[in-house]
């Protein structure tokens, strides 16, 4: 059992506040992804959980035990590093067995665990090699095997796939998900790649400027962004935003069209819709097409709506070209609204 609780954690480097009052609970065996742009504090938070960094204030609990005063080795964690950190002077076998040797486990047990995890990561043929003789993908596998061999309660991963090429990343992603699901460990995974986050996570914590702005399932984060930042960050291309003006009885005017919106709100809100939740129809938002990009399965159409940039993902057989006028109808149950003052979602 390894539930992780982060209570009021803040971190300050000199005058720079890297983390503000972070509160997060990660359930036992949950796969939590910390997602955010570089500099948002996600790696710092991971390193505080690992014990490689000390929080300025706050507490870290793992498995019902307060650990923020313990050294990394006493926290029941294992970690996969961004640059792998596979020791160059040790063979693959000794790399995977490094932590086990430090625990002074008997040789037979070290051998059993190294061989088992090497098998799991499909590197059992490489046990006698040095890291200089391995490819990036193989090193990554060694790094994961080394963490798994510890049979930790919690496995921490800091952008583990970011140094791999695109194809290998896809392959390793799927494999990681399978291996970790079977290992029954709690996982925290840091990435700036939203596709990686969506595909791996049980829950995603989106971080921005040292705060967690939303912690929810991938579908929830995608469908119901809690903040405008999340709506603009998740999704490729991200959500479209248009200003809306208040009419009577919870109705709002957007680019000349009228939609049902939040009943209680200020005079102005922002209308938001995902590019794929739009269809061309007889009546809808008036859009002047600026650019058409065929993506094979779809057309990515960039338009001008009410003076704002607006993107739509449309059927690939649609006959449309730059300069055309379209009426784009949003799928009404997918429309989201944001308060421009607080940036928070309003219902």
Partner 1 sequence: MNPRFLPYLLILPVTLFLCLFFLYPFLLVAKQAFSTASGLSLENFREVTGYWKFPISMKNTLLLAAIVVPIQLALALLMATMVNRMQKGRDLILYIWTIPLGISDLAAGIIWLAIFEQSGFLNSMMNGLGVVDRPVNFLSYQHPMIVFVAIMLAEIWRATAIMLVILVAGIGLIPKEYYEAAEVFGASPWKRFLRITLPMLRPSLQTALVLRVILAFEIFAVVQALGGTLFPVLMGETYAYQFELLNGGAAAAMALIILGISIAFTLIIMRALRVPKGATI
Q: Which residues sit at the interface with partner 1, rule CB under 8 A?
A: 50-52, 71-73, 77-79, 81-83, 85, 87-90, 98-99, 102-103, 129-133, 146, 150
Nearest CB to partner 1, comparing residues 117 and 257:
117
Nearest CB to partner 1, comparing residues 20 and 129:
129
* Among 53, 46, 52, CA closest to 6: 46
CB of 343 to partner 1, least distance (A): 36
- Yes or no: say if 39 and 210 are a contact pair by the CB < 8 Å rule: no
* Among 269, 254, 268, CA closest to 306: 254
CB of 86 to partner 1, least distance (A): 8
Nearest CB to partner 1, comparing residues 70 and 318:
70
CB of 253 to partner 1, least distance (A): 55
Which residues, including other chains, have CB under 8 Å from residue 129's CB and lie 6 or more apart?
A: 91, 92
CB of 124 to partner 1, least distance (A): 18
CB of 337 to partner 1, least distance (A): 44
Nearest CB to partner 1, comparing residues 128 and 251:
128
Nearest CB to partner 1, comparing residues 41 and 76:
76
Nearest CB to partner 1, comparing residues 98 and 233:
98
Residue 31: CB atoms within 10 A of its CB come to 22
């Amino acid at each position: 059992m390894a539930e992780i609780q982060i209570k009021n954690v803040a971190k300050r480097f000199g005058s720079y506040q890297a983390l503000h009052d972070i509160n997060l609970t990660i359930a036992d065996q949950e796969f939590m992804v910390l997602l955010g742009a570089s500099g948002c504090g996600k790696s710092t938070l991971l390193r505080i959980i690992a014990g490689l960094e000390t929080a300025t204030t706050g507490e870290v609990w793992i498995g019902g035990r307060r650990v923020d005063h313990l050294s990394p080795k006493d926290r029941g964690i294992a970690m996969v590093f961004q640059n792998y950190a596979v020791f160059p002077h040790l063979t693959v076998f000794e790399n995977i067995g490094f932590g086990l040797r430090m625990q002074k486990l008997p040789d037979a047990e070290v051998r059993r665990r190294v061989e088992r995890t090497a098998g799991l990561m499909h590197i059992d043929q490489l046990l006698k090699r040095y890291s200089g003789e391995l490819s990036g993908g193989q090193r990554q596998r060694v790094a994961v095997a080394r963490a798994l061999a510890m049979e930790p309660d919690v496995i921490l991963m800091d952008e583990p796939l970011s140094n791999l090429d695109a194809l290998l990343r896809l392959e390793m992603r799927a494999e990681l998900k399978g291996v970790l699901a079977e290992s029954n460990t709690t996982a925290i995974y840091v990435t700036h790649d939203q596709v990686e986050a969506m595909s791996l996570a049980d829950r995603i914590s989106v971080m921005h400027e040292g705060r967690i702005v939303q912690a929810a399932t991938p579908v929830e984060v995608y469908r119901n962004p809690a903040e405008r930042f999340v709506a603009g960050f998740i999704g490729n291309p991200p959500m479209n935003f248009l200003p809306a003006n208040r009419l009577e009885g919870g109705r709002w005017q957007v680019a000349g069209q009228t939609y049902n919106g939040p009943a209680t709100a200020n005079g102005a809100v922002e209308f938001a819709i995902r590019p794929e939740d739009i269809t061309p129809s007889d009546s809808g938002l008036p859009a002047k097409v600026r650019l058409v990009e065929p993506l094979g399965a779809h057309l990515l159409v960039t338009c001008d709506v009410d003076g704002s940039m607006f993107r739509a993902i449309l059927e690939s057989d649609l006959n449309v070209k730059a300069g055309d006028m379209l009426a784009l109808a949003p799928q009404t149950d997918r429309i989201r609204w944001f308060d421009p003052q607080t940036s928070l979602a309003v219902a």
